[in-house]
Amino acid sequence: MSATVSSGAGLRPEPFTLVIFGATGDLTNRKLLPALYQLFAAGRLPEEFTVVGFSRRPAEEFHAKVGEALAGHARDPGFARFREGFFYTQGDFEDADAYRRLSDLLGETDRKRGTCGNRLYYLATPPSAYEAIVAALGKSGLVGHPRRSTGGGWTRIIVEKPYGHDLESARALTRTIQGVFAENQVYRIDHYLGKETVQNLLVFRFGNGIFEPLWNRQFIDCVQITVAESLGVEGRGEYYDQTGAIRDIVQNHLLQLLTLVTMEPPVAFSAEAVRGEKVKVLKAIRSLTTQDTLERTIRGQYQSGVVGGRAVPGYREEPRVAPGSRTETFVALKLFVDNWRWSGVPFYLYTGKRLPSRTTDIAIWFRRAPHLLFRETNIKEVEPNLLLVKIQPEEGITLRFGAKVPGPAVQIETVDMDFSYSTSFRVPSRDAYERLLLDAMLGEQTLFTREDEVEEAWRVVTSILEGWRASPPDPLPTYPAGTWGPEEVDALLKRDGRHWHHWA
Ligand code: BG6
Query: Residue 156 above 80 pLDDT?
Result: yes
**pLDDT tens-digit series, residues 318-338:** 999 999 999 999 999 999 999
Residue among 203, 319, 217, 331 at smallest CA distance from 265: 203
Q: How many CB atoms lie within 10 A of CB 108?
A: 11
Q: Which amino acid is at 2?
A: S
Mean pLDDT of 472-484: 94
- The CA–CA distances, whole Å, from 288 to 50, 128, 170, 223, 294 equal 47, 28, 19, 18, 10
pLDDT of residue 147: 55
Our answer on whether the CB atom of 160 is closer than 6 Å to any ligand 1 atom is no
329 CA distance to ligand 1 centroid (A)? 13
**pLDDT tens-digit series, residues 229-287:** 999 999 899 999 999 999 999 999 999 999 999 999 999 999 999 999 999 999 999 99
pLDDT above 70 covers a percentage of the chain that reads: 96
Helix (H, G, I), strand (E, B) or coil at 317: helix
Lowest mean pLDDT among 79-83, 163-167, 190-194, 311-315: 79-83
Outline which parts of the chain fall under CATH 3.30.360.10: 193-426+458-503
E-assigned strands of 100-193?
A: 119-123, 155-159, 186-188
Spatial separation of the C-alpha atoms in residues 31 and 28, rounded to whole Å: 6
Q: What is the pTM of this model?
A: 0.95
Query: Residue 361 above 80 pLDDT?
Result: yes
> Which of 249, 250, 257 for a ligand 1 pocket mutation test, highest count of atoms within 8 Å of Cβ?
249
Sort residue 332 into left (φ over 0), alpha (ψ -120 to 50) or beta: beta
Our answer on whether the CB atom of 361 is closer than 6 Å to any ligand 1 atom is no
**Nearest CA owner, ligand 1 atom 13:** 192
pLDDT of residue 1: 45
Q: Which of 253, 499, 501, 502 is catalytic?
A: 253
Three-state SS string over 177-198 comes to: HHCCCCHHHEEECCHHHHCHHH
Question: Is 253 among the catalytic positions?
Answer: yes
58 CA distance to ligand 1 centroid (A)? 29
> Which of 248, 331, 360, 361 for a ligand 1 pocket mutation test, highest count of atoms within 8 Å of Cβ?
248
Q: How confident is the model at residue 7 (pLDDT cuts 50, 70, 90)?
A: very low
Contact 477, 488 (CB under 8 A): yes
Our answer on whether the CB atom of 229 is closer than 6 Å to any ligand 1 atom is yes
Our answer on whether the CB atom of 453 is closer than 6 Å to any ligand 1 atom is no
Contact 109, 87 (CB under 8 A): yes
* Strand (E) or helix (H) holding 418: strand 412-420
pLDDT of residue 377: 73
Query: Residue 445 above 90 pLDDT?
Result: yes
Outline which parts of the chain fall under CATH 3.40.50.720: 2-160
Yes or no: is domain 193-426+458-503 CATH 3.30.360.10?
yes
Mean pLDDT of 370-399: 87
239 CA distance to ligand 1 centroid (A)? 13
Residue 2 exposed, middle or buried by CB count within 10 Å (0-12, 13-18, 19+): exposed
**Nearest CA owner, ligand 1 atom 9:** 249
Mean pLDDT of 141-165: 83
Query: For the chain, what is the mean pLDDT?
Result: 93
pLDDT of residue 402: 92
Spatial separation of the C-alpha atoms in residues 464 and 328, rounded to whole Å: 13
Q: How confident is the model at residue 9 (pLDDT cuts 50, 70, 90)?
A: low
- The CA–CA distances, whole Å, from 476 to 14, 318, 334, 355 equal 52, 17, 19, 17
Spatial separation of the C-alpha atoms in residues 26 and 131, rounded to whole Å: 20
27 CA distance to ligand 1 centroid (A)? 12
Q: How confident is the model at residue 2 (pLDDT cuts 50, 70, 90)?
A: very low
pLDDT above 90 covers a percentage of the chain that reads: 87
Spatial separation of the C-alpha atoms in residues 290 and 287, rounded to whole Å: 10
CATH code for the part of the protein at 2-160: 3.40.50.720
Q: Which amino acid is at 399?
A: L
160 CA distance to ligand 1 centroid (A)? 12
Query: Residue 4 above 50 pLDDT?
Result: no
> Residue 386 contacts by C-beta under 8 Å, 6 or more apart in sequence?
363, 364, 365, 366, 398, 399, 400, 501
Describe the strand order of the beta sheet including 186-188 as a list of residue ranges: 86-90, 50-55, 17-21, 119-123, 155-159, 186-188
Strand duo 220-228 + 346-352: pairing: parallel
245 CA distance to ligand 1 centroid (A)? 10
Instruction: Say if residue 34 is preceded by a cis peptide, omega within 30 of 0.
Output: no
Our answer on whether the CB atom of 248 is closer than 6 Å to any ligand 1 atom is yes
pLDDT of residue 504: 58
